[in-house]
Amino acid sequence: MADMYAVRNIRLCTKDCLCLYVCPTGATDTENSVIDVGKCTGCGVCADSCPSGAISMVPKTLPAQQKHSEQVIKAMDVLLRSKVEQERISAGLEGKLAAAIERSNRIMAEDLIREAGYMLPQSANAHDFLRGLLDRETDDDFPRDAVERLLALLEENDRP
């Protein structure tokens, strides 16, 4: 069994073409368009054949979060706060330019958060965040079972 599996980006997929015919296991042919990882052997034929670049091969074991020095973490924190502030200011202004600045600041802030490890499923930051959610007082409709399932499923590999 390969150490990769295929993932389809539904926004890029133009539907009903090559991957449905070349996949040897039928993993690509599902009702909800999500590739069936239970059937996927990781051969990569679908990704090679897709005319839209909609399929990516993803490693089953994710690489460890990149380490950053204290200096870099502090710089990211300052930059992130400034992007959040700029997003907040532009959200209060009118016009397309302000909307574009708001959006671009949001994207840059998300990149910084990802770079800091908060959006990587394998990072200690993400796991601490999820555990923190379970420790908090939450409403009755808070999906605790979903958070617990995520913690059980996501392998953490970046704790020293």
Chain contacts with ligand SF4 (rule: CB under 6 A): 6, 8, 13-20, 23-25, 27-28, 35, 40-46, 49-50, 52, 54-55
CB of 12 to ligand SF4, least distance (A): 7
CA distances from 123 to 16, 67, 74 (A): 36, 11, 18
CB of 4 to ligand SF4, least distance (A): 7
**Which residue's CB is nearer to ligand SF4, number 13 or number 79?**
13
**Which residue's CB is nearer to ligand SF4, number 50 or number 116?**
50
Nearest alpha carbon to residue 121 among 69, 77, 64, 55: 64
65 Cβ partners below 8 Å, 6+ apart?
Answer: 117, 120, 122, 123, 124, 125, 157, 158
Helix (H, G, I), strand (E, B) or coil at 7: strand
**Which residue's CB is nearer to ligand SF4, number 14 or number 69?**
14
CB of 87 to ligand SF4, least distance (A): 34
CB of 94 to ligand SF4, least distance (A): 39
CB of 35 to ligand SF4, least distance (A): 5
**Which residue's CB is nearer to ligand SF4, number 8 or number 83?**
8
**Could you tell me if residue 63 is left (phi over 0), alpha (psi between -120 and 50 degrees) or otherwise beta?**
beta
Give the relative orientation of helices 70-91 and 96-115 as an angle to the nearest 10 degrees.
160
**Which residue's CB is nearer to ligand SF4, number 24 or number 63?**
24
